[in-house]
Amino acid sequence: MATGQVEVVILGISQDGGVPQPGCRCNTCASSIEEPSRRLHPVSCVIRGIDGSIHLIEATRRLDEQLAMASSVLGLGTSIIPETLCLTHAHLGHIDGLGQFGKESMGLSGVPLFASDSVVSLLRGRDSLGPFDSRIVQPGVPFSPSEGCGFEYTLVQVPHRDEHSDTHAVMVRGGAKRLLFLPDHDDWGQTLTMAGSKGIREWFSSLEVDVVLLDGTFWDSDELEGRDMADVPHPTICESLSRLGERREGDPRILFIHLNHTNPVLDPKSEQLRRVVSMGWGVAEQRSVIVL
């Protein structure tokens, strides 16, 4: 069914492990078990094109629930089947739903899968491409996932523990607005150097984006008790807020995603969330829709 507009549905806002995270007994995970409405999925989006076509970014372990969520939000009545898939990188939480497309579940074949050369090569080596027609995409080159969908993707390379594959953000350009989906990168210094920009605002301005779904995995560098944060590098929300300051006229709307179960902004009553909101930024919500 044609819609006349491009709609992005946020299907997950958590880090790869989700909430509850396996093996965790923290209050956040425990409360999500007791109250299913607090359950959070790994980061993923569905995009409905102007022609009604359905396109998925990331294939997570919660694929069944996320597709059912997308169907509910978009008012489609039944669970949907994505017509295309785009991947940012090959870390497990972003690809461990790939098997659901195959004969053990949906039984699909020839689904266009868009990713970088190194991601496609890795998946081919793991024999994970059976249900897919893989399409290697070059960073910085816009492309349309299907004829008539009314939007374009552009991959934007970022540094992120590239031991298995490289990593990209995905820019989605609709008829009126542009959204940057950036769930993972290592640190602002490396990212801005790679982008050739001096600051976050300068980079986002050069991309001409209106909305940014931004890596907010951890609140600060003391969050993982008993673990070395260097093992899981991400810029903290505190650092991002320090670099950004308060939102100014002309700034894009920034919503933090990829939140670890330890992140205090997941608590709607937390001082940390109030600080984010008071500075003019936000935390993304599952089931929310962004019109492009």
Q: Is residue 109 part of a domain?
A: yes
Query: Among 21-25, 79-83, 246-250, 280-284, whose mean pLDDT is lowest?
Result: 21-25
Q: Is residue 186 part of a domain?
A: yes
pLDDT for the residue 222 = 77
What's the domain range around 108? 7-291
Total structural domains in the chain? 1
Q: Is residue 261 part of a domain?
A: yes
Q: Is residue 2 part of a domain?
A: no
Rounded CA gap, 77 and 192, in Å? 43
Q: Looking at the predicted structure, is the pLDDT value of residue 281 above 60?
A: yes
| Nearest partner of 266 among 215, 225, 218, judged by Cα | 218
pLDDT for the residue 78 = 75
Contact 116, 166 (CB under 8 A): yes
Q: Which residues contact 275 (CB under 8 A, 6 or more apart)?
A: 241
Three-class DSSP category at 167:
strand
pLDDT tens column, 21-56: 787 778 787 777 777 777 899 999 999 999 999 999
pLDDT for the residue 123 = 95
Q: Is residue 95 part of a domain?
A: yes
Residue 67 CA: distances (Å) to CA of 44, 70, 222:
10, 5, 35
Exposed, middle or buried, 282 (CB in 10 Å: 0-12/13-18/19+)?
A: middle
pLDDT tens column, 79-137: 789 999 999 988 888 999 999 999 889 999 999 999 999 999 999 999 999 999 999 99
Percent of the chain with pLDDT over 70: 96
Q: Looking at the predicted structure, is the pLDDT value of residue 73 above 80?
A: yes
pLDDT for the residue 162 = 67
Tokens of 237: 């929300």
Contact 83, 146 (CB under 8 A): yes
* Residue whose tokens read 């709607």: 268
Three-class DSSP category at 257:
strand
pLDDT for the residue 250 = 95
Rounded CA gap, 203 and 209, in Å? 9
Q: Is residue 225 part of a domain?
A: yes
Predicted TM-score (pTM) of this structure: 0.94
Q: Is residue 251 part of a domain?
A: yes
Q: Is residue 1 part of a domain?
A: no
Q: Which residue has the higher pLDDT, 211 or 90?
A: 211
- Listed in sequence order, the DSSP H helices in the chain are 27-34, 63-73, 92-95, 117-125, 188-195, 200-207, 237-244, 271-278
Q: Which residue has the higher pLDDT, 169 or 90?
A: 169
Looking up residue 190, the CATH number of its domain turns out to be: 3.60.15.10
